[in-house]
Amino acid sequence: MIWKLICYGVIFYGIQGCGSSEKEKPSAGGRSGNNSPLQVEGYVVKTSTLNENIEVPGTLLPFEETEIHPEVAGKIVMLSIKEGSFVSRGALLARVFDADLRAQVKKLNVQLQVAQKTQERQSQLLKIGGISQQDYDLSLLNVISIRSDIHVLETAITKTYIRAPFSGKIGFKNISIGAYVTPTTIVTTIRQVNKLKLEFSIPEKYNSKVVNGKYVSFTVEGAPKKYSAKVIATESTITPENRGLKARAQVDEVDKYVTAGAFAKVNFDMGENNQALMVPSQAIIPGARDKKVIIDRNGLATFQTVTTGTRDSVNVQIVSGIAVGDTVITTGILQIKPGSKIKISSIKK
C-alpha cells in the first residue's frame, strides 16, 4: 500500500513538471509568449542604380499592305499575277475588257476632225464678216466638248488597267481570266516585306520614354540573334483595354527568321535610374487590387500599399509607397497582422 502511494506521488509530480516545461517553451514563429513580439528579419530601403529594361510582346507587320481592287466593273481579259512573286510599282497585273470604250474614242476622234475643219472654215468667214461671232463660238465649243469626251473615255480606259500601287510581294490571286469583277472584288493582295513594322504596347507609366528615333531590340522564335528597330510613331492616346501606349518601329534588317505576322519579344531599354528603391521580392504581398509591404513603425507592423516597377531574380523596384530609410519586413509575413508587435532580429542594408 505504501509503495502504491509513493508511485502515485512520483507520477503526479512528473506530470506537473512536464506541464511547467510546456508553458515555458516558446511558441512557433519566434514568439516567447502570447504578448511577446514576433521575431522577424528586415531590410532597410536605400537608393540603388537600376538599368531599367522591360520586355513586352510585339507583332511584325508588313511595312505596306493593301488589297487590290479593280476600279471599274467588267470581264478580265488579261491576268499576269504570279502568286508569291515580287513586282515593281506600276507593274500591270490584270486588265478589264475595254474594247467598247476604245470604239467610242475612235468615233469621237472622227467627229473631232470634222469639227476642227468646220471651226477652221468659220474662223476664215469670221474674218471677212461672213458669219457672226456667235456662230463661230458654237463651232469652237463643239471642238472643245468632243476633246473633253475623248479625255473622259481615255481616263476610263486607264481604269481598266490594274497595276501594282507599290513594289512588293504578291499574295494569292482570287480570280481567273474571264471572271467578271466589280470594284468590290479582291483581285489579290500586295505587301512590302523588304522592310517591316514592329507593333507593340508600352505600359502607361513608361509612355514619356517612348520617343521617335529611339531604338528597341527584339527576338523572334527560332532566330539565333537579336534584331533592332527604330520607333517611328506612337498613338496619341492610352488604350483603355490594357492601359498601354501603342508604338510602331521600323525594321530594316529582314531575313528568313523575320517575317510578317511573326510574334516578337520586344526589349525596351529605359535607361539607368540612380534613385531606384529596391526591396527583396519576398517582401511583396500580392493582392486582388494592389500590392503591399509591411513596414516596422516603432515595433508595430504597418501594411503599406505600394506600386511596383521592374524586377529581377531577387529584387523588385518600388515606384511609390515607401521612402529611403524605411524598414521592410522580409520574414514571418504570413503570421503578421496590421498592428502586430514585431521585433527585428536582423537587418539587411
Q: Which of 193, 199, 260 is nearest to 229 (CA)?
A: 199
Cα separation, 328 vs 75, in Å, equals 77
Instruction: Give the list of residues 6+ apart from residue 39 with CB closer than 8 angstroms, or none.
Output: 29, 30, 31, 332, 343, 345
Average pLDDT, 10 consecutive residues per value, the chain (349 residues): 45 45 43 71 87 84 94 94 93 95 95 94 89 91 95 95 94 94 95 92 81 89 89 86 87 88 87 82 89 92 89 84 91 90 85
Q: What is the CATH number of domain 70-97+160-186?
A: 2.40.50.100
CA torsion 230-232-237-240 (nearest 10°) is: -50
Kindly tell me the number of DSSP H helices and DSSP E strands found in the chain: 3, 19
Residues in the chain: 349
Residue 189 is predicted with a pLDDT of 95
Cα separation, 162 vs 190, in Å, equals 12
Domain boundaries, the chain: 29-46+284-348, 54-63+190-272, 70-97+160-186, 99-159
CATH class given for the domain over 99-159: mainly alpha
Residue 106, number of CB atoms within 10 A of its CB: 11
Strands 342-348 and 38-44: parallel
Helices 133-159, 99-127: crossing angle, 10 deg rounding: 160
Q: What does 169-237 look like in DSSP terms, one character per residue? A: EE------TT-EE-TT---EEEEEEEEEEEEEEEEGGGGGG--TT-EEEEEETT-SS-EEEEEEEE-SS
Domain 54-63+190-272 has CATH 1.10.150.300: no
Residue 276 is predicted with a pLDDT of 84
Residue 196 is predicted with a pLDDT of 93
Cα separation, 188 vs 348, in Å, equals 66
60-79 burial string, b = 16+ CB within 10 Å, else e? bbbbebeebebebebebeeb
Residue 301, number of CB atoms within 10 A of its CB: 22
Q: What is the CATH number of domain 29-46+284-348?
A: 2.40.420.20
Which residues does residue 246 pair with via DSSP β-bridges, in sequence order?
201
What global pTM score does this model have?
Answer: 0.62
Cα separation, 101 vs 150, in Å, equals 10
Cα separation, 261 vs 331, in Å, equals 46
238-242 long-range contacts, CB within 8 A, separation 24+: 238/204, 238/207, 239/201, 242/201
Cα separation, 34 vs 145, in Å, equals 107
Residue 128 is predicted with a pLDDT of 87
Fold match flag (54-63+190-272 vs 70-97+160-186): no
